[in-house]
Structure 1
Amino acid sequence: MCILFIAVKQHPKFPLIIAANRDEFYQRPTLESGYWPDFPHLLGGKDLEAGGTWMGVTKQGYVSALTNIRAPHLNRDNAQSRGQLVLDYLTKPTLRASYVQQLHRTRSVFNGYNLLFGKWHDLAVYNNHEDSLQFLDNGFYGLSNANLNSPWPKINKGVQALKHYCEQMNQVEPEILLELMRNEDKAEDHLLPKTGVPEIWEKQLSSIFINTQGYGTRTSTIFWIDDNSEAFWYERTFNEKAEITGDIKQQFSICGN
């Protein structure tokens, strides 16, 4: 998962709205989202190479998603798969204090990541590079491959678009939010971040939706919860030509809320 836009209690009918894109190599085998046979309360896609997931939710209202931190000079070839972090949390949710201690103890086992996690009305983001925890109070948030709300052009663009959407729309219209996540506008050269990859790659990765040779946005997911604790999941998948290959829709009532 490479970019998320989050609205926490910014719409009168929908206290949580998340719009997310997963960017990955096209050759990496992936299973579209669904309920997992081994964990029937868990809804999310599956990375068939390492067994984890990039984003998921549970019928009990727990949410987790992952973005990688782009810092190639710090990456290690023998690091564990970060997708396991999302799976571990959703299958064994625990008190936040003890969970953060666990993340702290294991932070060096993984390459850089941001982990969104928590009950849907009490979310936080842990950054293992900084060993930091930020709580998502009421507001709008953008999370990509640096810190929460880093002022990257695509983060600013997406946050503003989601804010405008919440101000103008009475209902959640997934197609409109999916169009937001399909934005391929690149940042101007002087606004590109400097993360350690070649400038040509900074340019290619500077849009909300990515489509390059061998790598790009493979999934867009819109997840929202209404004021009756009803949860909605809408996932759209893409192939290497950025063509739509499928839509998956799920709805469930959060139990034990």
Structure 2
Amino acid sequence: MCLINFHFQNHPDYKLIIAANRDEFYKRPTAPAQFWEDNPDILAGRDLVGMGTWLGVTKDGRIAALTNYRDPSEFRQHKKSRGNIVKDYLESSLPAADFLTGLQKEKNTYAGFNFIAGRPERLYYYSNVQNDIALIPKGTHGLSNEFLDTPWPKVVKGKERLAAYVRQHATIEIDPLFDIISDVEQAPDEHLPDTGIGLNLERKLSPLFIKTPEYGTRCSTVLLVDRHNKVTFVERRFNKGLFDNESRFIIQLNGATI
């Protein structure tokens, strides 16, 4: 997951609004969003290499999402799969703060990551690079492959567009949120970060929606949690930048699936 835009506890009808893109190599096998056979309480897509996930929700309201921290110099051999952090939290019964305290003790067993975990009423952010656990304040936020709300062009654009949309609409629709994160425009060179991957690749990775010959946005996810604890989860999948399929789920957080 390489871009997570979310609006948190600052809308009259919705506790949480998420519009996120997962970027990955096209050849990496992935299962679409579904309730997992080995844990039917979890709704998420699944990386079939590490068997973890990048974004998911449970029927009792646990929510988690993760992005990689971009550091091309990092030595990743013998590191655990970061997608298992999301899986482990969703499978856990620990409160998010306690889970993150335990995760701090294992931070060096993973390559760099950013992790959001909690429930629609209370979300935490943790990066093993910064190594600080923080409550996320209400409002609009963005996370890519740096720290939360780092002003990369895609983060700034996504936050601004999401904030404008939710400010102007009492009823939140799915399609406009997907429209926000489908933007393929590259950022101007003068606004690009320097993360050590070279200017050409910085350009290619700067849009909200990425398309390169071997790597790009594999799926987009919109997740809504309203004030009545109804969760709407929609995943749109892409094949080398072209729309391929869609899955839709509605969950009532007392455990019922509508």
Q: TM-score, normalised by structure 2?
A: 0.96
What is the alpha-carbon distance in structure 2 between the residues aligned to residue 94 and residue 129 of structure 1? 23
Aligned residue in 2 for 1:85? 85
> Does residue 218 of structure 2 align to residue 251 of structure 1?
no
Structure 1, gaps ≥5 residues long: none
**SS of match in other structure, 1:223:** strand
Ranges of 4+ aligned residues in structure 1 off by more than 3 Å: none
Q: What is the Cα-based RMSD across aligned positions, in Å?
A: 1.1
**SS of match in other structure, 2:254:** coil
What is the alpha-carbon distance in structure 1 between the residues aligned to residue 172 and residue 220 of structure 2? 15
Q: CA shift at 1:98, angstroms?
A: 2.6
Task: Write the mapping of 1:44-193 to structure 2, written as runs, cut at 5 A.
Answer: 44-193=44-193
Q: 1:95 to 1:178 in 2, by over 3 A?
A: same
**SS of match in other structure, 2:175:** helix
Q: CA shift at 1:104, angstroms?
A: 1.0
Kindly provide the amino acid, as one letter, of the partner of residue 58 in structure 2: T
Q: CA shift at 1:151, angstroms?
A: 0.8
Q: CA shift at 1:12, angstroms?
A: 1.2
What is the alpha-carbon distance in structure 1 between the residues aligned to residue 153 and residue 226 of structure 2? 30
**SS of match in other structure, 1:43:** strand
Task: Write the mapping of 1:13-32 to structure 2, written as runs, cut at 5 A.
Answer: 13-32=13-32
Aligned residue in 2 for 1:7? 7
CA contact (8 A) 1:75 1:112 kept: no
Kindly provide the amino acid, as one letter, of the partner of residue 56 in structure 1: G
**SS of match in other structure, 1:228:** coil
Structure 2, gaps ≥5 residues long: none
CA contact (8 A) 1:61 1:254 kept: yes
**SS of match in other structure, 1:212:** coil
Kindly provide the amino acid, as one letter, of the partner of residue 176 in structure 1: P
Q: TM-score, normalised by structure 1?
A: 0.97
Q: 1:13 to 1:98 in 2, by over 3 A?
A: closer
Q: CA shift at 1:171, angstroms?
A: 1.4
**SS of match in other structure, 2:106:** helix
Kindly provide the amino acid, as one letter, of the partner of residue 147 in structure 1: F
The range that moved more, 69-78 or 96-105, is 96-105
Deviations 1:107-143 (CA, angstroms, capped at 9, x unpaired): 0011000011011211111100110122112111000
Q: CA shift at 1:10, angstroms?
A: 2.2
CA contact (8 A) 2:96 2:124 kept: no
Kindly provide the amino acid, as one letter, of the partner of residue 111 in structure 2: N
What is the alpha-carbon distance in structure 2 between the residues aligned to residue 183 and residue 97 of structure 1? 34
Aligned residue in 2 for 1:38? 38
**SS of match in other structure, 1:89:** helix
Deviations 1:145-196 (CA, angstroms, capped at 9, x unpaired): 0010001111110000000111112212111110111001111111110111
Q: CA shift at 1:249, angstroms?
A: 0.5
Kindly provide the amino acid, as one letter, of the partner of residue 242 in structure 2: E
Kindly provide the amino acid, as one letter, of the partner of residue 254 in structure 1: L
What is the alpha-carbon distance in structure 1 between the residues aligned to residue 91 and residue 99 of structure 2? 13
Deviations 1:15-48 (CA, angstroms, capped at 9, x unpaired): 2101100000000000000000111110000101
> What is the percent sequence identity of the aligned residues?
38
Q: CA shift at 1:255, angstroms?
A: 1.7
What is the alpha-carbon distance in structure 1 between the residues aligned to residue 30 and residue 202 of structure 2? 25
